[in-house]
Amino acid sequence: MSAPAFHRTATHYRPTLTLEGRSYTDSAVLAEEQERIFGTLWNCVGHRSRLPGPGSFLTVTVAGESLLVVRDRDDSIRAFYNVCRHRGTRLCEGEGRLAGSIQCPYHAWTYAPDGRLIGAPHMQDVPGFAKRDYPLRQAALAEWEGFLFVSLADRPVPFADAWAPMRGRLSRFNLSGLTGFHRVRYDVAANWKLVFENYSECLHCPMIHPELSTVLPYQSGANDLIEGPFLGGYMEIVPPNRSATLSGGPAGRPVSPGLPEADRRRAFYYSLAPNLLLSIHPDYVNYYLVTPVSPGRTIVESEWLFHPENAGDPEFRPEDAIGFWDVTNRQDWAIVERSQLGIGSRAYRPGPYSARESIPAAWDREYLRLMALGTVER
């Protein structure tokens, strides 16, 4: 596809108020979000490098459901509901490598990595029972640029259609060829939407992020996705800095050897509904998976991806990038937690976004559109 057209924020601003307070505090609203948004859209569950070989698995939570994502012997990846077909017991916890099969810890019903039931003790005595009738229930799975996505909908919108605006847009960054070097889990005492809104603007950066502001001035850059479920753009890396790291230098090799010169001086930030925040730098990528737990609690899992050829290189300093964003992330969590406290006050009323907050305003509009669509039949 052709290079994206970037737009300065102020020239594409539509005045918008912030959301109503109950959007952030009401458990009934969260229940609707789980059904209408997380329960129907394509949710990112991580990068494929988290499943490094046949038998690798991980468990994830989507819309309150535990899913089991498995790489099979033929290198295909599938997603299953983490529920035994016998009496409903949860099959696996955490992540790791299967011992050849998936076995229920309760009564030893056993499944192949492709979901087929291959063992069911004493069920041969049950008239009419056939193992072929009890495979693990699958969830739809798709892949984009090395990231894995699942949908719980019985008839989801085809991934190719839902994610058409992103097709080829970021292919120059070699996202599928990167591998994870570090992962951290944050427990944030704030509503998940505040995490998205905060990520989508840097007007707060001079107040909250002194380290970040010296590298990426909040008035630099422009956005190429300004409306809809996918939003964001780039910021300029200020010389002599060459990346967003504690030292200002690169943490490792470029994410792609053929990266255009302009992209070597920029950092790209995209919010991709419903749960993926994607940050792309010249020498690494970090992404965030956002999972609501309650109206006032969100789990944010972040992983840092680097080019695999960095392994063993004495010049490789992943901690330079990891430390930079760990500091920045914790500053963000602290301020969104304060936002959650203020929004919970009886004094809170929706306030106006500025032109420098056009992306969170657009994100709110998309959120309201999704909530108004109604529940997809499941």
Q: How far is CA 111 from CA 40, 100, 102, 230, in A?
A: 27, 9, 5, 37
Dihedral, CA atoms, 204, 262, 226, 362, nearest 10 degrees? -20
Other CB atoms within a 10 A radius of the CB of residue 27 amount to 11
pLDDT at 1: 47
Sorted by sequence, the CB contacts under 8 Å of residue 297 that are 6+ apart come out as 187, 188, 189, 190
Helix (H, G, I), strand (E, B) or coil at 196: helix
| Strand, helix or coil for residue 316 | coil
DSSP annotation of 99:
S
Ramachandran quadrant class, 46 (left: phi over 0; alpha: psi -120 to 50; beta: rest): left
3-state SS, residue 157: coil
- The whole-angstrom separation of Cα 266 and Cα 261 is 9
Query: What is the per-residue pLDDT for 8?
Result: 63
List residues bridging with 303 in a β-sheet. 183, 287
* CB 268 within 8 Å of CB 225: no
Peptide bond into 274 cis (omega under 30): yes
pLDDT at 373: 74
User: For residue 376, what pLDDT is reported?
Assistant: 36
pLDDT of residue 12: 60
Contact 171, 99 (CB under 8 A): no
Q: With residue 192 as reference, give the H or E element that holds it.
A: helix 192-199
CA neighbor of 321 nearest in space, from 266, 375, 263, 252: 252
Quick one: tokens of 237? 């890396």
- Of 356, 308, 302, 360, the C-alpha closest to 333 is 302
Do 375 and 35 touch, CB atoms closer than 8 A?
yes
One-character DSSP codes across 13-51 = ----BPPPTHHHH-HHHHHHHIIIIITTS-EEEEEGGGS
**What pLDDT does residue 219 have?**
84
Domains (range + CATH), the chain: 9-41+168-372 (3.90.380.10), 43-162 (2.102.10.10)
Strands 230-236 and 222-225: antiparallel
Instruction: Respond yes or no on whether the N-terminal peptide bond of residue 360 is cis (omega within 30° of 0).
Output: no
Positions of the chain with pLDDT under 50: 1, 375-378
Phi and psi at 285, nearest 5°, equal: -130, 135
- pLDDT of res. 7: 66
| pTM score, whole prediction | 0.93
